[in-house]
Chain A
C-alpha cells in the first residue's frame, strides 16, 4: 500500500481496500442537460440537506450560486454570445443591439464574491488563478449568436483528494468504491479540508450549532454512499430525466464519454471536451467527470486543478532534510562541545 499523492492509481486499492469493487463515479454530460435542477432537489431530499436561503441571484436561472455545505449538486446556467454547433437561434435579421451576457456574467461574479452568506456559505472564493468568465466579444454591436449552457456540478471525488489528505480526524475517508466521504459524526469542524480542495467544493455549514443540523461541520457529496452500497443509483442520477448525469463504473463511463465527445465532434459541436477524465491530470483524474461545451473556467471550474497536497512528500522531505540539517548542526555545535 502506497497511499499515493500523485499520478494514476485506482484509489480504493491504493487506500488499502482489498478486493475493492470497480471504482464508481459520475459522468455528467452537459450537452444534454436541460437545467431542470431535479438533481439539486433529489440530492437535498435524499441527504436531508437544509435549504440555503431564498435568494434571487439573477445569474441567469441560477439562484443556487455554488457548491457548498448545503448544496451538493449545483446547476450552472451560462448565457453566451456564441453558437452551439449548428444550432440556429433566429437572431439574424432582428433589430438587436449589444447583448446582456456581459452584465449577466458580472452579476454572477458579484454573487459569487463578497458576502457569500447569500449562497449559504462563509467560504470565501479561492482565487484559482482563472481568467474572468467574461468572454471577448460580449459587447459587440449587434448580437448575432447565442447559446445557453447548463451544467450540473458536483464533488469530483478526486483520485488524489487533498481534503482527505489534510483531514486530521479521519472524518474524510476513501470508500471501497473509490469515492471520498465525510463522516459528520467524526468531523470536528477544523476546516483544513476547505482550502485544500482545488475545486472549492467542500465547505463547513454555516448556522447556529444545535439549531442548524451539522452546523460547523464540513459537508459535501457522498456520491450517495448509503445508496450505492445497496446497489442503488445516487439520487441525482436517478432523478435526472435526460441522462445528463450518468452513474456507473468509472472505466466504463470514461469509454462512454469519449464516444459521446466523438459523436458531438462529428455533429459539428467542436467545443465538446472532457474534463476530469484524464488520470494524468493534477488530481490523478476525478471519479466525477464532465463533458463540457466550453473552457472549464466558463463553468467556474479550474482549468488545471492540482491536488494541493501534491508536493507534500517533497515538502516533508525538505522539512526532514531541514530537521536533519538542524540536528546535524546541533550535534555539530553541542556534540563538539562534549
Chain B
C-alpha cells in the first residue's frame, strides 16, 4: 500500500502511531513491509490456503463473534442434501461438468430452495459468457428467503457453519506452511493478532489490491477474506471491512457507471440477445418477486435510466425504450476482444487512457492484435507504446511485424489531464469527489467528455435523415449538454442527469423517490442524491477538523452518503452498539428511528424488533435484524449458495502455471478457469506435467511508487523517470547464486510466450521459500516499462511474459503469478529471440493443449 498508494498510506501510519498493528502479507518485502510490524512473505498464488488457514483457526479455537455470526450471517442456514463438498470430490464441488469445465450450481442451494426461484445472477442463471459477477457489485445474487431452514444451534451437519468447518478442516498451520511457504509460527502470529483484535471492542480490516484479483481464482480470494471478516464480526463496523485499493483513480466509478460490457449503470445487467425479449422478462432476471431487499425495486431504477437516456422517446408503450438498449451475445470482455482481433474479427478499437501494449497481460498478443485492426484511436496524454507499436514495437525488431504491411490506421488524439477538466472521481469508499478544472488543456488536448459529446453529435449528424430502425437509439438519445465557450460540455449537467429528476423537474434527493411510471429519470440509481437539495454534494470539502470523525460533509458516498455499507451490523440485534468504543449507528427508542454518526444503511424507522409478515417481499421482507440489506436473505454469506461460478466456498487451487503440485487436493488448478488453447497463447507445463522443470521459478508483477501502471503518466516525465530509469527484476541472493545472476548485471526471463531482459537487483527483500519440501524462488517484476521510442525511459515489458488464463466470474487475467525460467545475460535480438523461445518450448514439449487441461484427471 505504501508502495502503490503512498498518499492513502498516511492513514495507516496514523493508525500505527495510535497503536494499530500492521501486518503485511506479500511475496516481497516492500516499502509497506519496511514500516509494518510483521512481514509475511508467501508464495504468489497461495493466498486461499493462507486465508482458509485463518478460517480454520477461528473455527477450531471458537474465536468467532458468536452473536454476530448467529444473527447476521447465514451460518445457521441449512445447505441442501445434494451438495457435495470439495473435501469429498478431490477438490471439486458437486455439479461439475468435465467436458464443459463448468458447474451446474443447483446443488449448492439452501435446503428446500424452490425451483425457479432464480433471480439476479442466480443459481442456474449463472452464465459464464456474461461474467455475472460484475452485476453483483451493489448487492448479492438471488435466493428465495421464504424457504430457508435454520438451525440456530449451528450444530446441524448441513448448517453452513458445520459445512464451513468441515471444508476448512484440512487448512491446518502445517498445510499453510507446506503450501504458502509461511512458517507455522509466523502464520499463527497473524491468526492470533487478527482474532485478538476483533470482537465487540475491536475490529480488524483487510486491505487488498490487484495482488488478490489478478488470478484465475481471484474472486474467491476476496471471498476468503469475507468469510474471515464475517466470522469475526468485522463487517459493517468502524475499523472493519475489506478495503479494495484500486489500480488507478475512479476504478470504482468505472464499475458504478461502467466501462464494462456486461452491466449498465448502477449494476443493472446488460440485456442478453435471445434471452431478454421483453422489458418484463428482463426485469424478472434482476428482481425476484419473492426476494428480500432493494433489488425488488429494479423496475424503478431501469425505467429511470432509460428515461435519462431517451427522455420523451421512452414511453410505456415501447417498454421505456428497452429495445434501444444494446444486447450482448457472449463474452465481449477485453481479452476475448483481443483474441478476436488476432483472428481478424475486429475492425476498430478505442484506447482511452489505457496502454495494453505494456499494461495488459500477454502484451505481445495485444500488439499483434492491434496490428490486425482497420483503425485504432488512442486518446492519451503521451504517445504511448500502444500508439507506436507499429513502428518501434518488439515485433518489428523480431521481424514478425513489418510497418509497411500493417494496415491499421492509428489516430492519436491528445487528452486533457484531470487538472484540465472538471468532473468526479469515485474512490474505493464509493465516495465521489468533484475536481474543478484548474487550467485549460494545452494545444489540441481535449477532455473525454468533449470527445464523446462531439463524436455523438457527428454520428447523429450523419444519421440525421436515416429511416432505419437501428439508428433510432442514437437519434433519440437526449444529447443536449450545454457547452462552454471553448466547446467543453458541462460536467455538472452530466452529474445532474446522473442524479436524476422528479416529475416537477426538481433534482431527486434519493433513489427511493424513483418511480416505475416514467415520471422520474436518473442515469445511475445508486448515485441519486449526489445532487440532493440541488447542491453538488460531491464538491463539498469541509475539513475533517470541522466535522465528526465520519466526515459526512466531505464529498459524497453512494448510496445516500453512507460512509460504511451495512452499518446496521455495527449495532446488536436489539439495535444497541456492540460496544461504545465501536458505536456507529443505533436504534433510538425515544425517537423511534435509527441514529448515529453515519447515515444508517437501513430503513430509518424500521425497529430492530420488526419481523416481516408472511409472504412479504422487497424491503418489507427484511427483518429488523437483517443488516445486509442488498442480500436476498439480508445476511452476510459465509457460504454462497449462488452467484459464483467456481464454488460456494474458496478452495486452494494452484495458479494456472505453477511449479508446485497442489498439496491439498487432487485437482491442480481452478477447474472452471477460462483458458484459450491457441498457438498464440501457449502455456508453461505445471508440476505434474512433463517439461515443468524447464520453468522452475515463480514470477510475479507489481508496481513501484515512482511509476504509474503502464507508464503513460510517469515514463514521459523526467522527474519520475530518473527515479526508476530502468526495468529490473528482483531476485534473492540465494536465487542469484543458483543461477549465476549478478547485481546490476542483466537477466533474461523466459516463459512459453517470450523472453525479456531486465537489469538485476539482488536483494534480501526477496526470500526463497520452503514449499512442499523444496525451495521455491520467486522473481519480482515491476511492469512499468515498454518498448518504444517516445518515452523518456523504456525497457522490456513484464506483461509480455504472461499468457491468458482468466477467472471465470469476472474474466480477469492471471497476471500476478506464472512460472518462468531466468538466466544471466541479455536476451537474443531480432529473429534470434524467436528461436530462443522456440527452443524452450521444444525442451518443455509444449503444445496447444499444455496447461489447458482444466480438469485434473
Contact = CB atoms under 8 A, between A and B. Distances in A.
A31 B762 CA distance: 24
Interface in B682-740: 704-706, 718-726, 728, 732-734, 736-737
A36 B6 contact: yes
Given A44-B719, A90-B41, A101-B764, A35 B705 contact: yes
Interface stretch (A46-54, A225-233, A300-308, A311-319): A46-54
Contacts of A101: 764
Interface stretch (A56-64, A249-257, A276-284): A56-64
A207 interface: no
Contacts, number: 167
Nearest to A263: B17
B743 A104 contact: yes
Q: Give the one of A79, A100, A107, A148 with max B CB within 10 A.
A: A100
Contacts of B704: 61
A63 B2 contact: no
Given A56-B759, A60-B763, A101-B764, A241 B10 contact: yes
A35 B29 CA distance: 13
A86 B39 CA distance: 12
A54 B793 contact: yes
Contact of A51 (B718, B732, B737): B718
Contacts of B484: none
A134 interface: no
Name the interface size band of chain B: 35 or more
Interface stretch (A17-25, A91-99, A121-129, A213-221): A91-99
A104 B728 CA distance: 15
Given A51-B718, A88-B186, A79 B792 contact: no
B722 A87 contact: no
A26 B520 CA distance: 57
Contacts of A98: 733
A37 B705 contact: yes
B34 A54 contact: no
B35 A32 contact: yes
Interface stretch (B247-255, B596-604, B765-773): B765-773
B13 interface: yes
A40 B181 CA distance: 37
A146 interface: yes
A60 B722 CA distance: 14
Given A100-B763, A148-B34, A241-B7, A41 B725 contact: no
Contacts of A100: 732-733, 736, 743, 762-764
Contacts of B769: 94-95
Contacts of B718: 50-51, 54
B765 A79 contact: yes
A242 interface: yes
A103 B182 CA distance: 27
A140 to B, nearest CB: 12
A54 B719 CA distance: 10
Interface in B1-60: 2, 6-7, 9-10, 13, 17, 29, 31-41
B744 interface: yes
Given A58-B759, A242-B13, A87 B36 contact: yes
A325 interface: no
Contacts of B40: 90
B35 to A, nearest CB: 6
A90 B763 contact: no
A81 interface: yes
Contacts of B764: 79, 81, 99-101, 143, 146
A96 B768 contact: yes
B9 A34 contact: yes
A88 B189 contact: yes
A37 B737 CA distance: 31
A241 B767 CA distance: 29
B723 A41 contact: yes
Nearest to A42: B719
A338 B411 CA distance: 97
Contacts of A41: 719-720, 723
Interface string B357-394: 00000000000000000000000000000000000000
B129 interface: no
Contacts of A56: 725-726, 728, 744, 759
Contacts of A89: 29, 33, 38-39, 41
B761 interface: yes
Contacts of A241: 6-7, 9-10
A58 B761 contact: yes
A15 to B, nearest CB: 34
A243 interface: yes
Contacts of A61: 31, 704, 724
B353 interface: no
Nearest to B728: A56
B830 to A, nearest CB: 24
B82 interface: no
Contact of A34 (B6, B759, B763, B768): B6
A236 interface: no
Contacts of B736: 100
A44 B726 CA distance: 20
Interface in A238-277: 241-243
Nearest to A54: B725
A87 B706 CA distance: 26
A201 to B, nearest CB: 19
A63 B189 contact: no
Contacts of A44: 719
A300 B254 CA distance: 46
A55 interface: yes
B548 interface: no
B400 interface: no
A94 B767 CA distance: 8
Nearest to A147: B34
A78 to B, nearest CB: 10
A194 interface: no
Contacts of B763: 60, 79, 100, 104
A50 B763 CA distance: 30
B754 to A, nearest CB: 23
A99 B767 contact: no
A84 to B, nearest CB: 8
Contacts of B761: 58, 60
A38 interface: yes
A115 interface: no
A60 B31 CA distance: 12
Contacts of A52: 722
A97 B719 contact: no
A165 B734 CA distance: 51
A318 B728 CA distance: 57
B456 interface: no
A205 to B, nearest CB: 15
Nearest to A44: B719
Contacts of A91: 767
Nearest to B25: A90
A87 B769 CA distance: 19
Interface in A119-151: 143, 146-150
Nearest to A244: B13
A95 to B, nearest CB: 5
16 contacts: A41-B723, A54-B718, A54-B792, A56-B744, A58-B761, A79-B763, A88-B186, A90-B40, A92-B185, A98-B733, A100-B743, A143-B733, A146-B765, A148-B34, A150-B34, A241-B9
Given A36-B705, A54-B726, A100-B732, 6 more contacts: A58-B743, A64-B722, A92-B186, A96-B768, A99-B764, A148-B33
Interface of B: 2, 6-7, 9-10, 13, 17, 29, 31-41, 181-183, 185-186, 189, 704-706, 718-726, 728, 732-734, 736-737, 743-744, 759, 761-765, 767-770, 775, 792-793
Interface of A: 31-32, 34-38, 40-41, 44-45, 50-56, 58, 60-61, 63-64, 79, 81, 84, 86-101, 103-104, 107, 143, 146-150, 241-243
Top 4 A-B pairs ranked by shortest CB distance?
A: A93-B183, A51-B718, A54-B725, A100-B733
